[in-house]
Amino acid sequence: MITHNREKQTFILENNSVRAVLCYQNGLRMQEFSNLHSGRVSNTDRELLTFTFMGGQYTSADLSVCGAYAAQDNTREMATVLLENRDLQLSMRLHLISDKKDTVTVLLQVKDLYREKVPYELFIHSPFLAAMQMTGAGDKYYYPAGAVQNREGKQLLKLAKESFMNSDIKPPLVVTDAEDQYGFSVRFPSLADLSDDGAVQNRNMSLSTIASAEELHEHSLPINPDATYADTIELEITGLTDGWPEAFRRYRAQWEAPYDFREYDKPDLKWFSEKFLHNFTFLYGTEGFDPVKKKIDVEKLLAEGDEFGGFDTVTVWNQYPRLGIDRRSQWQFFDDFPGGRPAIRQAVEEFHRHGVQVFMPYIPWDAGSHESTDSLGDEFAKLLADTDADGYQLDTLSAIPESFREKCNAVRPGLVMTTQSHPTKKRPMEIITTSWDEFWATRPMPQVDILRYLLPRHIAPVISRWYRKEDKDLLIQYSQFSAVPMVIWQDIFGRWMPFCAEQRQTIKGWKAVYMAHRLTYQCADPIPFWPTRADDVYCNRFAADDGSETIYSFYNDTDSDYTGPLCRADGASCEIILGSGEADIQNGLLSGRLPARTVVHVRVQ
C-alpha cells in the first residue's frame, strides 16, 4: 500500500513486513521505518542524507523539492521526490520502492552538471542508515564486512579476498533485537565488477566494506556523479522475523539467484563431495617418491595416509619451484618424469585400485608466448587422457577458459577442477566446483569461511601450508567447527613440515565422524554463527536435508568450561558426536557443558 499525502508532504509505504514514512516538507526525513511484525515503531524522525560538496556541508534541507509523485505497477509501489540546488548545479532523485512483500528499497540518484566545468568530489552520508536500529536497546549488529567479531574485535566471518576485482559476495548489514528475532536486513546491491572507486557512480560496494559500529556511524561515501541520474546509493531493507539466520538465508538466496549451478549437479563430478582427506605430495621428496626405484611410491604414501584415516585423493606435484631453470614447459616435465607419462599413468592406476583419485598440477603462469588458449587447452586435456588422472589442481588460476572444461569433458566424464583460492566471480564459480580454503592464517578461532555456507556444494578443503604445530592444532579445529574436509600437505616444496602423531589421530577420528554424517554436514542450508545464549560460545548449524538430524557445532572461546543454555534447537534427543562435554535438550532449548577451547558437535534428532 502506498499513500501520498500532498498536504503533509508525506509518503507512507507499507507491505507485509515494513512500514516506511517519508516526509519531504523540509528536506528528506524518514519519520518512521518499522518492522510491522515486531509491533514496534522504529527509526523515527531521521534525516535521510547529508553531503559535502565544493567545500560546503549540506543537509537534504539545502535542496529544494521540485516534485514528488507516487507510482505503481504489478509488482512495485514507488514514491519519488525530486530535489535540486541550482547554485550547486546538483540534482537528486530519492525513491522509496516497495516490493509489495517484505522489502522497501531506498534509492538515491544524483546528477551533477559540473558547475565549474570539472567534476568535484561529493561525499554523502546517510544519518538514517548510520542510526538504523530495531529496538534501540541491546540490538545486535552484523556488519557487512564484519558480521561476527570475538571479544577482541577480530572478524570471524571471513569474506572472499579481494583485489582489483570486486568480489560478488557482499553480505548485508543486519540489525536485530537482543533475542535475534525481529530486525532488518539492509542489502547494498552492486554489480560493479571493479573495486576501482572512480569507475562507477554506484557506491554500494563501499557500504559493503563497513565492518564496525564506528564505520557505520561515520560512513562518508565518495560518489562519482555525472550529468545523468545513475544509481548512487541503494539500501534494500527487509523486515526480519527470524534474525540473523533468516537474513543469511535471504542473502544466500539473493546471491545465488543468477547463478547456473548445472556443473555442481553433474552426477559424474559428485565423487569429490564424497571425499574428506586430500593429500598434496611434492614429488621431489620421499613422502611419495622412491628415489631408488625412481617411481611414485603409492604404497608408502597411502600407508602414511592411513595414519590420518586414509587419503581419499592425492595431488602429485612435479613442477614449481623447479620450472624455469631451462626452457622445458610444464608439459615436458611430465614427459621427463622418470618413465614419462606411462609411469604416471601406472601410478594413477595403482591409486585407483585403492579407491584414491589423483589430481595433476596445472601452472597457469608457465604458459609461454608460443602457446595459445587453444593449444594449452589441448595439452590440458591430453595430460588427463594420457595419465587417466581425475582432474586438476589449478594453482593460482581463479578462472579457466570454457574450452579447457569442454576439452576435458571430451576426454571422459568425472574430471574435477579445483584451485588454490576460491573463485570469486560468477562464471568461474560456476565451472570450478571446488577450491582450497586457504586464507593463510588460522587465528583467531573460530573463524568461518562464508563461501562454505553460501555455496555448500562448493567443497573447499582447508589446507596447511607453512603451519607449525600450534597452527595445525587450530587448523584441525577450524576443519571441525565448519565441518570442512582437509588437505594434508606436509612437504612444502622441499621443506618437511609433518603433522604429529596426536594430530594424525585426531584427524582420523574426525574423518570418521564426518563420513558418518557427511550428508548432514553437506546440507543445503548450513547457517554460520547460529545465535547462542552465551557470550564467547559460537555455533554453526547443519540440518540434514531430509530432516533426519541436525548437528550443532560449538566452540567455547574461553579458558574455562561453559555450562548452561546453548541455543534454541528443535528435537527430542541429543548426543555428542565429536569432542567431549554434556548436552541436553528440553523445550526447544539445547543446554550443556562445553570444555574450554574445543569443538563439540551435538547431534539433535
Partner 1 sequence: MANYLEQKLVKVPRASYIYRVVHRVMEGDCQCEHGPIPVTVGPLQADVYPVTNHMYWLFMQESGYRPADDTNFLKHWVDGKYLEGDADKPVTNIDQNDARAYAAHYGKRLPKDFEWQYLAAGPDALKWPWGDKLDLSKGNFYTDALSRVDAYPQGVSPVGCMDMCGNSWEMVEDTHDDGCHFFTLLRGGCYYRAHHYWHAEGGPQPNDAHLKMHLLAPGMDRNATVGFRCVKDCDGEEL
Nearer to partner 1, 368 or 564 (CB): 368
Q: Among 310, 338, 565, 581, which residue sits at the site for partner 1 (rule: CB under 8 A)? A: 338
Q: Among 67, 321, 342, 564, which residue sits at the site for partner 1 (rule: CB under 8 A)? A: 321
Q: Among 58, 261, 320, 439, which residue sits at the site for partner 1 (rule: CB under 8 A)? A: 320
DSSP letters spanning 27-74: S-EEEEEEEGGGT---S-SEE--EEEETTEEEEGGGSEEEEEEEEE-S
Identify the residue whose cell numbers are 505503481: 72
Stretch that binds partner 1, among 19-27, 187-195, 215-223, 358-366 (CB under 8 A): 358-366
CA 561-566-569 angle, 5° bins = 150
Cβ at position 328, least distance to partner 1 in Å:
8
What does the alpha-carbon distance between residue 254 and residue 153 come to, in Å, rounded to a whole number? 28
Cβ at position 280, least distance to partner 1 in Å:
13
* By the rule CB under 8 A, 467 interacts with partner 1: no
* By the rule CB under 8 A, 493 interacts with partner 1: yes
Cell numbers describing residue 497: 613440515
* By the rule CB under 8 A, 54 interacts with partner 1: no
Q: Among 323, 411, 515, 576, which residue sits at the site for partner 1 (rule: CB under 8 A)? A: 323
Nearer to partner 1, 234 or 491 (CB): 491
Nearer to partner 1, 54 or 323 (CB): 323
Cβ at position 305, least distance to partner 1 in Å:
16
What does the alpha-carbon distance between residue 308 and residue 320 come to, in Å, rounded to a whole number? 26
Cβ at position 327, least distance to partner 1 in Å:
6
Nearer to partner 1, 371 or 430 (CB): 371
* By the rule CB under 8 A, 324 interacts with partner 1: yes
Question: Taking the CA atoms of the chain, what radius of gyration do you get in angstroms?
Answer: 27
Cβ at position 322, least distance to partner 1 in Å:
6
Cβ at position 292, least distance to partner 1 in Å:
11
Site for partner 1 in 268-297 (CB under 8 A): 283-287, 289, 291, 294
* By the rule CB under 8 A, 501 interacts with partner 1: no
Nearest to 193 by CA among 426, 9, 527, 16: 426
Size of the site for partner 1 (CB under 8 A): 33
What does the alpha-carbon distance between residue 59 and residue 187 come to, in Å, rounded to a whole number? 24
Asked if residue 1 lies in contact with residue 77, where contact means CB atoms within 8 angstroms, the answer is yes
Q: HSE-up of 269 (CA within 13 Å, CB side)? A: 22
* By the rule CB under 8 A, 333 interacts with partner 1: yes
What does the alpha-carbon distance between residue 167 and residue 146 come to, in Å, rounded to a whole number? 15
Q: Among 328, 354, 382, 597, which residue sits at the site for partner 1 (rule: CB under 8 A)? A: 328
* By the rule CB under 8 A, 325 interacts with partner 1: yes
* By the rule CB under 8 A, 495 interacts with partner 1: yes
* By the rule CB under 8 A, 562 interacts with partner 1: no
The DSSP bridge partners found for residue 593 are 563, 582
Contact track, partner 1, 364-403, x by CB under 8 A:
-xx-xx----------------------------------
Nearer to partner 1, 56 or 339 (CB): 339
What does the alpha-carbon distance between residue 548 and residue 571 come to, in Å, rounded to a whole number? 10
Q: Could you tell me which residues come within 8 angstroms of residue 111 by beta carbon, excluding any fewer than 6 positions away?
A: 90, 91, 92, 93, 225, 226, 227, 228, 229
DSSP alpha helices (H): ranges in 131-212?
204-207
Contact track, partner 1, 406-435, x by CB under 8 A:
------------------------------
Q: Among 322, 345, 568, 593, which residue sits at the site for partner 1 (rule: CB under 8 A)? A: 322
Nearer to partner 1, 285 or 509 (CB): 285
Q: What values do phi and psi take at 383, rounded to 5?
A: -60, -40
Q: How many angstroms separate the Cα of 374 from the Cα of each of 3, 404, 405, 406, 423?
A: 60, 8, 12, 11, 22
Cβ at position 324, least distance to partner 1 in Å:
3
Cβ at position 204, least distance to partner 1 in Å:
35
Q: Among 355, 494, 564, 588, which residue sits at the site for partner 1 (rule: CB under 8 A)? A: 494
Nearer to partner 1, 73 or 326 (CB): 326
Nearer to partner 1, 494 or 564 (CB): 494
* By the rule CB under 8 A, 56 interacts with partner 1: no
Cβ at position 320, least distance to partner 1 in Å:
7
* By the rule CB under 8 A, 317 interacts with partner 1: no
Terminal alpha carbon distance of the chain: 43
Nearest to 272 by CA among 477, 384, 419, 160: 419
* By the rule CB under 8 A, 326 interacts with partner 1: yes
Nearer to partner 1, 368 or 413 (CB): 368
Stretch that binds partner 1, among 120-128, 158-166, 362-370, 479-487 (CB under 8 A): 362-370
Stretch that binds partner 1, among 6-14, 267-275, 360-368, 533-541 (CB under 8 A): 360-368
Q: How many angstroms separate the Cα of 308 from the Cα of each of 275, 311, 503, 598?
A: 13, 7, 8, 20
Bond from prior residue into 428 cis (ω within 30 degrees of 0)? no
Other C-beta atoms lying within 10 Å of the C-beta of residue 294: 11
Cβ at position 367, least distance to partner 1 in Å:
9
* By the rule CB under 8 A, 565 interacts with partner 1: no
Nearer to partner 1, 322 or 518 (CB): 322
Nearer to partner 1, 69 or 493 (CB): 493
CA trace torsion 254, 260, 265, 269 (10° rounding)? -120
Cβ at position 395, least distance to partner 1 in Å:
9
Asked if residue 527 lies in contact with residue 559, where contact means CB atoms within 8 angstroms, the answer is no
Q: Could you tell me which residues come within 8 angstroms of residue 38 by beta carbon, excluding any fewer than 6 positions away?
A: 134, 135, 177, 182, 239
DSSP letters spanning 538-552: EEEEEE-TTSS-EEE
Q: Between β-strands 486-489 and 462-463, what pairing exists: parallel, antiparallel or unpaired? A: parallel
* By the rule CB under 8 A, 342 interacts with partner 1: no
* By the rule CB under 8 A, 257 interacts with partner 1: no
Q: Between β-strands 462-463 and 313-317, what pairing exists: parallel, antiparallel or unpaired? A: unpaired
Interface residues toward partner 1, by CB under 8 A:
283-287, 289, 291, 294, 318, 320-328, 333, 336-338, 363, 365-366, 368-369, 491-496
